[in-house]
């Protein structure tokens, strides 16, 4: 089953640590099963213009306990990259496109979509031919965990 796309507002539990958002381990809490491991989660307010993929996270089963909480793994800020946990979840790097492309094509990447990027490149991008993966993507050893409450981003006036 392909990934679902969830566009959320980052409602932080407690104080926002200095490492937030890109150097902290993010954990999605209180999502009532709306988000599943393997889904794509975006936070529009995380886009600063530093990279096309800075607000894109992949939901993963928590490494340690968590009673329904999900780890949110960042592949990379600058380019499309998948955490090893996602490669394992879908059954190999050759399955990443089938699982993630539909959700990523419509994800808001700070005012554009992956579909817009591919159109600008004249067709399907090369990154699907040799998908970038990282063994350590999403791991933030020694950094605090930041919990984010599931809250759907409200559509902007005039958008669908």
Mean pLDDT of each 10-residue bin along the chain, 160 residues long = 88 66 72 87 80 84 72 81 90 91 84 77 65 62 54 45
Integer-rounded Cα radius of gyration of the chain? 15
Question: For the chain, what is the domain count?
Answer: 1
Is 160 among the domain residues?
Answer: no
Q: In terms of residue numbers, what domain contains 35?
A: 5-149
Q: Decide if 130 is inside a domain.
A: yes
Q: Would you say residue 94 lies in a domain?
A: yes
Classify residue 65: in a domain, yes or no. yes
Contact 145, 25 (CB under 8 A): yes
Nearest Cα to Cα of residue 52 among 102, 116, 135, 119: 116
* Cα 47 to Cα 108: distance, rounded to the nearest angstrom: 10
* DSSP, res 159: -
Residue at 154 is within a domain:
no
pTM (two decimals): 0.79
Would you say residue 56 lies in a domain?
Answer: yes
């Amino acid at each position: 089953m392909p990934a679902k796309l969830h566009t959320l507002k980052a409602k932080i539990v407690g104080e926002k640590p200095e490492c937030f958002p890109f150097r902290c381990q993010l954990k999605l809490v209180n999502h009532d099963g709306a988000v599943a491991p393997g889904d794509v989660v975006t936070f529009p307010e995380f886009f600063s213009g530093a990279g096309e993929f800075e607000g894109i996270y992949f939901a993963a089963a928590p490494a340690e306990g968590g009673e329904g909480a999900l780890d949110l793994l960042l592949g990379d800020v600058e380019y499309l990259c998948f955490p090893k946990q996602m490669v394992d979840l879908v059954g190999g790097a050759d399955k990443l496109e089938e699982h993630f492309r539909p959700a990523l094509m419509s994800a808001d990447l700070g005012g554009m979509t992956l579909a817009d990027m591919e159109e600008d490149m004249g067709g399907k991008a090369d990154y699907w031919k040799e998908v970038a993966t990282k063994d350590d993507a999403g791991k933030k050893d020694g950094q605090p965990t930041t919990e984010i409450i599931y809250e759907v981003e409200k559509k902007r006036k005039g958008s669908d």
